[in-house]
Structure 1
Amino acid sequence: MKNLVHGIKEKTPMGFCDVPGKNLLDFLRDMKSICANEARYKPRKKIHQAASEGDVKKLQRMINLGKHSVHDRDFKERTALHFACIYGREEVVSILLRNNCDIDAVDRNSVTPLMKAVQNWSYGCMCTLLKHGANPNRMDKNGNTSLHYAVSEDNQKLVEYLLKYNADMEQKNKDGFTPLLLALKENKIEMAKFLVKKGANIHVFDKMKRYSCLNFFNKNV
């Protein structure tokens, strides 16, 4: 299980490394990236800070006074709900939803709070969002859905829960990758097998026809 600091990321699935193992140099590069991402996701607005810190009383007081809104956005168009999901603040998510926040709000990269919850392994936030009607099939600017994010995280538990709420296994991103094709591209073989067992279509190709699920499974399964 990833810890909170390791989870603060802004990469999209197509930006992830394909290599399954890491050497020391890879590890050091990752640590540098983590620090940079943590700085990028530092909340600037007071309501975003309260959401990030999980300060429920302060957050509710801000909303009640009317000086801050659940719809307030920062320079990257992120809402308090985005920050709550990044930091795994399930109780904050519930409060924001009770105060009529936009459950599918998108930042400037069209990333939703659900995508950030999935990307950062915030199970409680993800479950709460889905139970309250978050759309698992919204796409970011690269056409990736929350299911693409879960596949990139190589997390079958996340994938299974998204499928329970009708996540589309056949949705292609802008490069023509379904979640299954993405799993093969990123060398996540067990994830690919898991998706096939769940009914993913193996008769698909990416836009450039570089990846063929059918050819792969004929050779490896």
Structure 2
Amino acid sequence: MTPLLYAALKNNTDLAEFLITHGANVNKHGETNKIALHYAIQRGNLKLAELLISNGSRIHLKDEKNRTLLHKASEIGNSKLVGLLLEHDPDINAREYERKTALHLATLPRCIDAAKLLISHGIKLDARDLFMKTALHYAVDNDNKDLVETLISHGANINAIDGYGETALNYVAKSNNFDIAQYLVSQGANVNMRAENKCTALHDAALNGSTKIAILLIEHGANINVTDYDDQTALHYTAYNRKNELMNYLIEHGADVNARDVKGRTYLDIMITN
């Protein structure tokens, strides 16, 4: 490890500046192929990053996971570093080893400013990773309502499906985040889309015991008697977790109490045996 790499690793900006003024090579890499700028980004050191870039540090670099410096800055949620890198024309839509863009990695609530900066610079909103997930899927998974709203308001596909055919609405029905569910429905999310296993968001809400979300979906047109790949309805699903409030609501609103699944069972049969 060179002295400059060590200074960057130890977050010592003064030493790094001294070494650079005395001819240290800012692009010299160590055994892990990281240069000093990698460590500056990793440490969130804006001053050091500016110093290195102004002295000719390369920014179009990828690590062993194919991640760029922009990926790293976005993942730690450092909007100032993201802004600095964007000033120097990085490949904003670069993919890492799981085909994630910087936006995929900036979906935690603490990364909201970085995410908004990426969006304002035109990053692809509906890029899909190796699992066919968009940033919207991850934003919902991370309960990041601010980012969900930002993505939708900038034109992200609200009904984008992942590798299992699930939309953001499926995700939120499982996570029981009513506020995000309400927002997605208000923005036109399709309440009757079926995933690969033929489940709708209503199935997911019923299985998860998300009563408020299930009611919200039904109030906005969800098919109460739609069946999954085992011919089970949402009413069957409530029988597994004995969510009586939701069970009664479904029955009162037209759920077929005589519906049978592929094994010939009604919801009552499942309640008895479960």
TM range (shorter): 0.7 to 0.9
Q: How does 1:125-140 map to 2 (within 5 A)?
A: 125-140=147-162
Question: Shift of the alpha carbon at 1:86?
Answer: 3.1
Question: Shift of the alpha carbon at 1:43?
Answer: 9.7
Question: Shift of the alpha carbon at 1:219?
Answer: 7.3
Give 1 or 2 for the bigger CA radius of gyration: 2
The residue number in structure 1 matching 2:251 is: 218
Question: Shift of the alpha carbon at 1:44?
Answer: 4.5
Higher relative contact order (CA 8 A, sep 6+): 1
Letter in 1 for 2:141: Q
Distance 1:87 1:47 in 2: 18
Letter in 2 for 1:208: D
Question: Shift of the alpha carbon at 1:57?
Answer: 2.1
The residue number in structure 2 matching 1:194 is: 216
Deviations 1:106-142 (A, max 9, x none): 1011100011001101111111111101111010000
Q: Does 1:142 align with 2:164?
A: yes
The residue number in structure 2 matching 1:18 is: none
Query: Equivalent of 1:167, from 189, 197, 202?
Result: 189
Partner of 2:222: helix, strand, or coil? coil
Deviations 1:4-40 (A, max 9, x none): xxxxxxxxxxxxxxxxxxxxxxxxxxxxxxxxxxxxx
Given the superposition, is the C-alpha separation of residues 74 and 87 from structure 1 closer, same or farther in structure 2, using an over 3 Å criterion? Answer: farther
The residue number in structure 1 matching 2:101 is: 79
Query: Equivalent of 1:49, from 48, 51, 72?
Result: 72
Letter in 2 for 1:169: V
Q: TM-score, normalised by structure 1?
A: 0.73
Given the superposition, is the C-alpha separation of residues 125 and 88 from structure 1 closer, same or farther in structure 2, using an over 3 Å criterion? Answer: farther
Runs of 5+ consecutive residues of structure 2 not aligned to the other structure: 1-64, 239-246, 256-274
Distance 1:169 1:159 in 2: 10
Contact 2:181 2:213 in 1 (8 A): no
Partner of 2:103: helix, strand, or coil? helix
Question: Shift of the alpha carbon at 1:76?
Answer: 0.2
Q: Does 1:116 align with 2:138?
A: yes
Given the superposition, is the C-alpha separation of residues 91 and 143 from structure 1 closer, same or farther in structure 2, using an over 3 Å criterion? Answer: same
Question: Shift of the alpha carbon at 1:61?
Answer: 1.8
- CA root-mean-square deviation: 2.4
Identical aligned residues as a percent: 27
Distance 1:88 1:117 in 2: 11
Runs of 5+ consecutive residues of structure 1 not aligned to the other structure: 1-41
